Amino acid sequence: MACAILRRALSLTAGGAHATPRVAAAFASASTSSSSSVVAPLRSPLDDRLLRLLRSEITYLSERRPPYQPPSSFKSFAVEDRPGEQWVRLHAARANAGAGAEEVKVEATMFDGAAEPVPDDAPLFRRVESLERGPRLHLSLIVEVTRGDRVLGFICSAWPDDLAVRHVLTLRAGGSDGVGCGGRDFEKLGAEEREAVTKFLKEREVDDELAGFLHDYVANKEKMELLRWLKTIESFLNK
């Protein structure tokens, strides 16, 4: 609009004479300003509100419930954790006299289930206890014990204070796909066999203590992943 007015002013100068220096300078300035200015996009009120909510949640998680620096080991296990992955991996090497070297690997999922809630008709003290304790969360574990070309596999359920074996597998070593050679349901084994399997895993520190450690580790990892995700969304909206 400003340029149009200036052009009109120039056209009205007497007899097509050259424009006065003042008018010419104003016209040149307006033309340059018009061609070089960029209109910045406006952020919607919804974006501003979302940013405020995100920053409030980030502040709460960072200051009132901050995640801690996760440990890099547990007993004889080294812990391997990569940001963004939905698995936690542990591995340990053991030297058995007369049996050669042995490697133990554990892969744990994030929380993938919970125990059935206490029924409404349960005694009052049990319902109160359940509410105070909160949900009893579940993790799945895959355990591999390798000795030479022999691999024993175990699929386990990890509760906050208990580790339960579900299946026992025999695998072939040396293959990336871990082809199974056979497996048994743990509950269908004889009492002596179940006791032997439980003792075998405890000797390798795959026990209730490991289940409790993994529950604390995964709860902290979920908090770290949530905080990282919220900050990613905040930076995207803040552009």
Domains and CATH numbers, the chain: 73-221 (3.10.280.10)
6, pLDDT greater than 50: no
Q: How confident is the model at residue 183 (pLDDT cuts 50, 70, 90)?
A: confident
d(CA 110, CA 61): 19
* Token pair belonging to 197: 């399997």
Residue 10's pLDDT is 43
Number of H helices and number of E strands within the chain?
6, 9
Averaged pLDDT for residues 81-100: 85
**pTM reported for the whole predicted model:** 0.71
Q: How confident is the model at residue 176 (pLDDT cuts 50, 70, 90)?
A: very low
More confident residue, 16 or 196: 196
Averaged pLDDT for residues 167-171: 89
Q: 26, exposed or middle or buried, with CB in 10 Å at 0-12, 13-18, 19+?
A: middle
Closest to 149 in 3D by CA, of 101, 96, 182: 101
146, pLDDT greater than 90: yes
CB atoms within 10 A of CB 165: 21
Angle at 40 between CA 35 and CA 41, to 5 degrees: 135
Interval 197-212: pLDDT, tens = 999 999 999 999 999 9
